[in-house]
């Protein structure tokens, strides 16, 4: 995410992270979620995504192949993790220590969680 993209969100880091995540999922899977919300809490970033499965993935779920869909989603998140981490670090100006991802197919919800390095205390 460039500075211009972050500025387009009015400097709102939660919105910028949500937009980044939707864009990345769309790039990697061909379809982004219809709902995304980012929660910032001290050293924790949590992104909740809804309605992100593609038509093909929904068909697989309906045919009892949820484990295949979940395995594929885990692979996508492993692959896109570096891009998400880099974008969050740029938006927040903080180092990401860990990235965890989880998916659920019914209901269609995913959660991306990033643990940030603690803020350094400034000398007075």
Span 7-50, pLDDT tens digits = 565 789 999 999 999 999 999 999 999 999 999 999 999 999 99
Structure tokens at 25: 């999922």
Number of domains into which the chain is organized: 1
Per residue in 63-121, pLDDT (tens digit) is: 999 999 999 999 988 899 999 999 999 999 999 999 999 999 999 999 999 999 998 75
CB 92 within 8 A of CB 119: no
Residue 59 lies in a domain: yes
Distance, C-alpha 39 to centroid of its chain: 11
CATH number, domain at 11?
3.30.980
Residue 95 lies in a domain: yes
Beta bridge partners of 98: 115
CB 16 within 8 A of CB 7: no
CB 99 within 8 A of CB 70: no
Residue 123 lies in a domain: no
CA 42 – CA 44 distance, rounded (Å)? 6
Residue 106 lies in a domain: yes
Residue 121 lies in a domain: no
Residues spanned by the domain of 26: 3-116
Query: Could you check whether the bond before residue 117 is cis, i.e. omega within 30 degrees of 0?
Result: no
Distance, C-alpha 123 to centroid of its chain: 34
């Amino acid at each position: 995410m460039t500075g211009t993209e972050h500025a387009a969100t009015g400097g709102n880091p939660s919105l910028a992270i949500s937009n980044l995540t939707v864009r990345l999922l769309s790039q990697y899977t061909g379809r982004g979620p219809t709902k995304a919300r980012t929660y910032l809490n001290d050293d924790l970033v949590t992104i909740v995504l809804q309605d992100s499965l593609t038509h093909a993935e929904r068909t697989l779920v309906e045919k009892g192949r949820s484990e295949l869909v979940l395995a594929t989603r885990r692979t996508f998140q492993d692959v896109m993790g570096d891009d998400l981490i880099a974008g969050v670090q740029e938006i927040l100006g903080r180092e990401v220590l860990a990235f965890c991802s989880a998916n659920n197919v019914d209901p269609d919800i995913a959660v991306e969680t990033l643990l940030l390095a603690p803020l350094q205390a400034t000398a007075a």
